[in-house]
């Protein structure tokens, strides 16, 4: 594969330098400049997106602020390919498609885009998963990338393992399914040898393990510094577990206290990750409300579900994310997640019903008509 164009390498270098300043670096002017520069690049290199913007009378020259960048709904990725450099695709991730398996979206990355994603994983996890700098045995309730090459969670957790895990860290879902006895043995070893662990995985994978512990009457006394990281929610599952109940299980079966349990919001369509501030607050001795933190290279808005206009803090609406690390596809992503803004982040309440997200449906319809021309 040929080298990325100079224009791309220069833009990536600027974004990468911004991300590497870490989670405590807040420079809205620099973010705004990079966001507008990224939008102009995407406008010039994704013809369908350019047409969509032009229909709305929007050009790069007419924008002065990141929040004026036209977002696209996540469902658009199910119907079209949105990528700046089609000849440089290095990796493709696919959306879960749990509700409609035949309608899975594709999100492409070139080598530069993967470097940006890797940088977000390292910077965000350094601040919110391991703010104490502790190296742990990372045990992952998910398949590894060689089994699930198109699963962005597998890719991200593999990076966490490499960046922050002890050498014995490994995945626990193989070609024949969840290797639950392997996890049990690893946790017993952790108890005996006083090795702190980080258990990572999909939220429902944890629930399956807790059910197994209940049936087998298993309880673990994991060493101080152990923690849980769950992600993905319960999409398409027959059983849902409230957050309070989930945290109760972590304490009951693993002896991991609530302040060492972190939920992660990750999306295939967004290169960055949004962590709870719970563990970071605990380590720093901060007494504050728990919420998802928008790292400095991202911004989040809450918008009216019908008009898609921004709502004031405290009002519940649809979450819209802006991510500089999305350089390769679309930096402004409109989700169907319901949430509200907090100072420094946001809370999330689940998915909006189709009838509630009328604005997203109208945008998808507009994009579909543009594709037919």
Q: What is the dihedral of CA 194, 198, 202, 207, to 10 degrees?
A: 30
d(C-alpha 340, C-alpha 3), whole Å: 42
Residue 13 CB: number of other CB atoms within 10 A?
Answer: 12
d(C-alpha 232, C-alpha 353), whole Å: 18
CB 322 within 8 A of CB 331: yes
d(C-alpha 229, C-alpha 242), whole Å: 16
d(C-alpha 12, C-alpha 1), whole Å: 18
Q: Which of 354, 305, 366, 371 is nearest to 334 (CA)?
A: 305
Question: Helix, strand, coil % (nearest 5) of the chain?
Answer: 40, 20, 35
| Strand pairing class (177-178; 173-174) | antiparallel
pLDDT in tens, 134-150: 999 999 999 999 999 99
d(C-alpha 237, C-alpha 353), whole Å: 17
CB 248 within 8 A of CB 216: no
How far is C-alpha 106 from the chain's CA centre? 15
pLDDT in tens, 106-165: 999 999 999 999 999 999 999 999 999 999 999 999 999 999 999 999 999 999 999 999
pTM for the full predicted model: 0.92
Backbone angles phi, psi at 362, to 5 degrees: -65, -40
CA distances from 103 to 41, 47, 100, 306, 317 (A): 28, 23, 6, 24, 25
Range of lowest pLDDT (70-74, 146-150, 286-290, 332-336):
286-290
pLDDT in tens, 17-58: 999 999 999 899 999 999 999 999 999 999 999 999 999 999
d(C-alpha 29, C-alpha 32), whole Å: 5
> What's the rounded mean pLDDT across residues 3-10?
96
Range of lowest pLDDT (56-65, 232-241, 258-267, 324-333):
232-241
CB 339 within 8 A of CB 349: yes
Max intra-chain CA distance, the chain: 65
Number of residues that make up the chain: 373
Residue 193 CB: number of other CB atoms within 10 A?
Answer: 9
Q: What is the dihedral of CA 171, 173, 174, 175, to 10 degrees?
A: -150
Residue 299 CB: number of other CB atoms within 10 A?
Answer: 21
Which residues partner with 293 through β-bridges? 345
CB 165 within 8 A of CB 157: no
d(C-alpha 129, C-alpha 261), whole Å: 9
**Residue 270 has what pLDDT?**
97
Q: Which secondary-structure segment (H or E) carries 138?
A: strand 137-141
CB 169 within 8 A of CB 161: yes
Residues in contact with 302: Cβ distance below 8 Å, sequence separation at least 6, in sequence order: 310, 311, 315, 316, 317, 318, 319, 320, 339, 340, 341, 346
**Residue 343 has what pLDDT?**
83
pLDDT of 365 over the 70 cut: no
pLDDT interval class at 344 (50, 70, 90): confident
CB 277 within 8 A of CB 288: yes
Which residues partner with 179 through β-bridges? none
């Amino acid at each position: 594969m040929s080298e990325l164009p100079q224009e791309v390498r220069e833009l990536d270098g600027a974004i990468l330098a911004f991300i590497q300043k870490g989670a405590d670096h807040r420079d809205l002017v620099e973010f705004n400049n990079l966001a507008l520069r990224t939008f102009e690049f995407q406008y010039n290199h994704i013809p369908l997106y350019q047409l969509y913007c032009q229909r709305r009378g929007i050009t790069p020259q007419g924008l002065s602020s990141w929040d004026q960048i036209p977002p696209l709904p996540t469902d658009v990725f199910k119907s079209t390919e949105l990528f700046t450099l089609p000849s440089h695709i290095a990796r493709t991730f696919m959306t879960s498609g749990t509700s409609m398996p035949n309608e899975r979206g594709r999100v492409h990355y070139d080598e530069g885009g993967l470097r940006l994603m890797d940088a977000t994983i390292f910077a965000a996890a350094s601040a919110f998963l391991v703010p104490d700098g502790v190296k742990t045995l990372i045990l992952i309730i998910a398949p590894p990338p060689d089994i699930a090459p198109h699963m962005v969670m597998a890719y991200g957790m593999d990076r966490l393992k490499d960046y922050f895990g002890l050498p014995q860290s490994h995945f626990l879902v193989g070609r024949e399914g969840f290797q639950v006895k392997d996890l049990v043995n690893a946790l017993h070893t952790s108890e005996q040898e006083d090795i702190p662990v980080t258990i990572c995985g999909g939220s429902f994978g944890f629930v399956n393990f807790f059910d197994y512990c209940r049936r087998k009457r298993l309880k673990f006394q994991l060493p101080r510094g152990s923690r849980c990281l769950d992600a993905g929610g319960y999409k398409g599952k027959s059983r849902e577990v409230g957050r309070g109940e989930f945290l109760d299980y972590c304490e009951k079966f693993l002896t991991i206290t609530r302040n060492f349990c972190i939920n992660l919001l990750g999306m295939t369509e967004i290169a960055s990750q949004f962590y709870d501030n719970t563990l970071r607050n605990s380590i720093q001795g901060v007494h504050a409300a728990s919420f998802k933190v928008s790292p400095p290279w991202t911004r989040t808005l809450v918008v009216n579900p019908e008009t898609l206009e921004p709502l004031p803090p405290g009002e519940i609406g649809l979450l819209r994310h802006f991510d500089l690390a999305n350089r390769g596809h679309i930096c402004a992503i409109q989700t169907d997640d319901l949430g509200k803004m907090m100072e420094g982040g946001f809370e999330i309440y689940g998915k909006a019903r189709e009838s509630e997200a009328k604005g997203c449906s109208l945008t998808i319809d507009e994009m579909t008509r543009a594709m037919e021309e």
